[in-house]
Amino acid sequence: MNPKTNFFFEADGPWKEAYAEMRKIALGCGLTEELKWGCPCYTMNKKNVVLIHGFKEYCAYLFFKGSLLLDPEGILIQQTENVQASRQIRFTSAAQIRKMKKELSAYIFEAMEAEKAGLKVALKKTKAYPVPDEFRSILTKDKKLKAAFEALTPGRQRGYLLYFSQAKQAKTRMDRIEKYRNHILAGKGLND
């Protein structure tokens, strides 16, 4: 147990008992407990394997390379259509976790084996994401913006393309592009 994570497990809330059960299972698999993104993260050889996090309606294990797991129980959930690698197993009670202890341990061990084997998730390339017409037009005219966008990491590029594309109206897409123009020029991602 890592004392840096104690605040997470000691905080009152609807998932306190569930978190304790999840912690026992993860530590029982021989993982190292760390604090990352404000949540307990379980690692092996400094590689992220699974994270515990909670939401209003459920708490969950987040498997960083969950898309590689076989999922014989059919319990892995892809949070949104744009999430490529990670998968969640969601819980609504500590009793549910206790009942699934054997299966959950098996998922964690499988994730550990994937990490030991050095398996990688094949991520979609940025080119596979649609570029909104408005953004394409602006990039054609503004070479400085185009160069700055192309210099961004693939993840930052995808973030912008997804955000711009989600708007249904052309005016909204243009507003979003204009709002984040200086961010792109500064080499920043959508949430930086």
**CB-based contacts of 103, cutoff 8 Å, min separation 6:** 73, 75
Give me the CATH topology for the region 3-116.
Aspartate Aminotransferase, domain 1 (3.90.1150)
Answer yes or no: is pLDDT of 13 > 90: yes
List for the chain the helix, strand, coil content (%; round to 5).
Answer: 50, 15, 35
pLDDT band, residue 155 (cuts 50/70/90): confident
Which pLDDT band, with edges at 50, 70 and 90, does 70 fall under? very high
What is the total residue count of the chain? Answer: 192
Which range, of 19-23, 96-100, 163-167, averages the lowest pLDDT? 163-167
Over residues 62-83, mean pLDDT: 94
Residues contacting 37, CB < 8 A, separation 6+: 51
Q: Can you list the alpha helix ranges (DSSP code H) found in the chain? A: 6-10, 16-28, 94-99, 101-116, 133-141, 143-151, 154-166, 170-185
In the chain, which segments carry CATH 3.90.1150?
3-116
Write out pLDDT tens, residues 86-114.
999 999 999 999 999 999 999 999 999 99
- Residues 76-107: b if buried by 16+ CB within 10 A, e if exposed: bbeeeeeeeebbbbbbeebeebeebeeebebb
**Chain segment 34-63, per-residue pLDDT in tens:** 999 999 999 999 999 999 999 999 999 999
pTM (two decimals): 0.75
